[in-house]
Structure 1
Amino acid sequence: MIDLLVAGGGPAGLVTALHGARAGLDVVVVERRRGPIDKACGEGLMPHAAAHLNRLGVDPPGVPLRGIRYLDGRRHADAVFRTGPGRGVRRTTLHAALLQAATDAGVELVHNDFGAVGQDATSVRMGELRARYLAAADGLHSPIRRTLGLELPVRGPRRWGIRRHVHLAPWTDSVEVHWADGAEAYVTPVADDCVGIAILTSRRGGFDGHLRQFPALRRRVGGHAHGPDLAAGPLRQEVSGRRRGRVLLVGDAAGYLDALTGEGLGIAFTTAELLVDCLADGRVADYDRRWRQVTRRYRLLTAAILRAGGSAPLRRTIVPAASAFPTVFTGLVNRLAR
């Protein structure tokens, strides 16, 4: 019998598989799509996420990131990472590196649809495959989460992300976060001749329409060739729990607040390792509690920034406050970065 079946071959699923292989488990990943998979993503790895990949022997080419810079058109605030640089990496480049690492580790990849999920006291089935446990890493709108009855309704405003690659040399060695009323634009260098721009907003419309809210950024990137736009959302996903019997949720499937802190991949990698630790220790019942423990700092800080950003008067104070209190701003950034 398979020890660990992973539904979803994105970064969360592949890192789960890599940790499983390192723990001596027989791991099979099921993913319908082939080859490096692209998606709307900020593409910035915080320092602890880059370090996590390094521990797994995964070193995707990219651009070192010195820190985070907030801008609002009049002021700016800089926070330098204290534990070493992060890395800007194109999503397809990251995925290709993880696919190669999983193959080298002996992980079996099955290109197929997931199939129906069922379980009993000793195993879980997905289609024709049977395993001791199933890690559902099937993304933000996880069908498995919904099938298991773990999805909750989300109240309040919903946010979406739109990403575009612009082909020009990076002008910054940090992730720039440009703030406007009702939207942020995240600029991440991902190659010597490419920057990624991800816009997060609760308003409808295309990339160019939203870019008009950031005149300085629009002037800088206007007229340069760019790739296709990719969108994702709604971003916020609520769950009642992250385990149902022998099925455990990981990555975006385990619930998501927002992309504004750039912690999606870091949280996915950390909780993927936690999931495998719980299996190896025979303490699967502890997974949800321990998941909430290791993500608590991220969830509290992200929720606080979201609340501030949801109020127009408070939103306008975010960059001025970060500029006026650089030590506090740097401390908050590094609490997330470690």
Structure 2
Amino acid sequence: MNLLPRSTDVFVIGGGPAGLAAAIAARRRGFQVLLADCSVPPIDKACGEGIMPDGLAAARSLGIDLTASGAQPFRGIRFCAPGVPAAEAPFPSGHGLGLRRTALHHLMVEHALQAGVQFAWGARITGIRPNDADAGAAVEADGRLVRTRWIVGADGGHSAVRRWAGLDASHRDSRRFGFRRHYAVAPWSEFMEIHWGDACQLYITPVGPEEICVVSISRNPHLRLDDALPQFPDVARRLSGPGTLERGGVSASRRLKAVCRGRVALVGDASGSVDAITGEGLCLLFQQAVALAAALDAGDLALYQAEHRRIGRRPEFMADVMLLLDRRTRLRRRALRTMASHPRLFARMLAMHVGQLSPLDFFTNGLAFGWRLLTL
């Protein structure tokens, strides 16, 4: 049984990376923070387990140095497809990291504890009162009412907080389905690899000196890894021995009309999401957490609403581009050939993807990319 306080400044509902990031950011602004989740650590989730350079920078803005975690670095992205030369590009500066989700969660819990976040693991949250007359807001937790100045919903793509706050309305909502395994195989590449097929993609992320994470993702909820791997014989040949237990999840593209109302704000997947193909999920939630804490400090959630929209524009655009390649086989093959034969174009596209080149600069100097797509 959790010994819940009667009140707190910020009540965070959801103990995954988004909730932990929001809690850490709020503590860094001097707020008293309580985080509650019905689960207990470590909390796992099927994902590609790769963190891009901009995600590492966003984590550092919260005081979290993921490079000290023993994670496996990778220096860029490689696109592969049957019958098409591989296209690869290094990041313009820095590197990415492959890190098991459970290891990331443990690291963030430890950091939150050091920051002074209070926890209520295993707590049952049954409702919120976003406009309680006495104290601004309140949360119903384990049969008690905890009063709070602010409520943060970080409870994932199926967020109950979002529903309770009346924030479910969205501009767009589409889904794909992913399945993940780990294999005790030494990484064969310094790159995070995306293997493109007609029915799905495979993501290969190095997460240790002798371990890789393999994720299949498609629009078919029944297409498991064992069904996907035969479409990628070069990868299948490298995966000697059994993998870990397969874990599934939903990759959603969801844009909400609003991410805050009254004294309630949403963060992470609860606030909308981009498809996993971007690899930007963790970066987004770190950036959102920093923006939310600043808005709480100013006492104005409208600031967070505006910053949330700004933060999401680039990843949403890149997701739209890459999902177009997923849907259009001929366009995808042309694009991959162009990237392979003109690596500087691919490098500039990757620089834009990780926020190290503005879209204006890319398109000003990247008109040749579109022309080559039309003429190849």
Where 1:313 maps in the other structure, the secondary structure is helix
Please show how residues 16-35 of structure 1 align to structure 2 within 5 Å: 16-35=22-41
In structure 2, which of residues 63, 73, 84 is the aligned counterpart of residue 64 of structure 1? 73
Where 1:116 maps in the other structure, the secondary structure is strand
Code of the aligned partner of 1:57: I
The change in CA–CA distance for 1:157 and 1:280 in structure 2 (over 3 A counts) is: closer
Identity rate of aligned residues, in percent? Answer: 34
Please show how residues 109-128 of structure 1 align to structure 2 within 5 Å: 109-111=119-121, 112-120=123-131, 123-127=136-140, 128=145
State whether residues 259 and 266 of structure 2, in contact with CA within 8 Å, keep that contact through their aligned partners in structure 1. Answer: yes
Please show how residues 278-293 of structure 1 align to structure 2 within 5 Å: 278-293=295-310
**Within 2, Cα distance between the matches of 1:227 and 1:188?**
15
Where 2:345 maps in the other structure, the secondary structure is helix
**Within 1, Cα distance between the matches of 2:51 and 2:251?**
22
Where 1:75 maps in the other structure, the secondary structure is strand
| Superposed displacement of residue 67, structure 1 | 0.6
CA deviations 1:224-255 (Å, max 9, x no partner) are 23111111115223422101211111001111
The change in CA–CA distance for 1:167 and 1:247 in structure 2 (over 3 A counts) is: same
| Superposed displacement of residue 159, structure 1 | 0.8
The change in CA–CA distance for 1:117 and 1:336 in structure 2 (over 3 A counts) is: same
Please show how residues 27-176 of structure 1 align to structure 2 within 5 Å: 27-55=33-61, 56-59=63-66, 60-73=69-82, 74-111=84-121, 112-120=123-131, 123-127=136-140, 128-152=145-169, 158-176=175-193
**Within 2, Cα distance between the matches of 1:280 and 1:157?**
34
State whether residues 167 and 258 of structure 2, in contact with CA within 8 Å, keep that contact through their aligned partners in structure 1. Answer: yes
Question: For residue 209 of structure 2, what is the aligned residue in structure 1?
Answer: 192
| Superposed displacement of residue 115, structure 1 | 1.9
Where 1:48 maps in the other structure, the secondary structure is helix
CA deviations 1:271-291 (Å, max 9, x no partner) are 111010111122212221221
In structure 2, which of residues 214, 223, 227 is the aligned counterpart of residue 205 of structure 1? 223
Where 1:257 maps in the other structure, the secondary structure is coil
Where 1:237 maps in the other structure, the secondary structure is strand
Please show how residues 193-272 of structure 1 align to structure 2 within 5 Å: 193-203=210-220, 204-221=222-239, 223-233=240-250, 235-272=252-289
| Superposed displacement of residue 162, structure 1 | 0.9
How high is the TM-score relative to the length of structure 1? 0.95
**Within 2, Cα distance between the matches of 1:307 and 1:71?**
16
How high is the TM-score relative to the length of structure 2? 0.85
CA deviations 1:112-160 (Å, max 9, x no partner) are 0222011216522111222111111101221211232322468786311
In structure 2, which of residues 2, 11, 18 is the aligned counterpart of residue 5 of structure 1? 11
Paired residues in the alignment total 337
Where 1:159 maps in the other structure, the secondary structure is strand
**Within 2, Cα distance between the matches of 1:93 and 1:302?**
27
Where 1:236 maps in the other structure, the secondary structure is strand
**Within 1, Cα distance between the matches of 2:304 and 2:97?**
29
Q: Does 1:313 align with 2:330?
A: yes
State whether residues 61 and 93 of structure 1, in contact with CA within 8 Å, keep that contact through their aligned partners in structure 2. Answer: no
Question: For residue 372 of structure 2, what is the aligned residue in structure 1?
Answer: none
Unaligned 5+ segments in structure 2 are: 1-6, 356-376
RMSD after superposition: 1.7
**Within 2, Cα distance between the matches of 1:153 and 1:337?**
26
After TM superposition, the structure 1 stretch with the greater mean CA deviation from structure 2, 100-109 or 65-74, is 65-74
Q: Does 1:183 align with 2:200?
A: yes
After TM superposition, the structure 1 stretch with the greater mean CA deviation from structure 2, 119-128 or 238-247, is 119-128
**Within 1, Cα distance between the matches of 2:235 and 2:274?**
26
**Within 1, Cα distance between the matches of 2:169 and 2:130?**
22
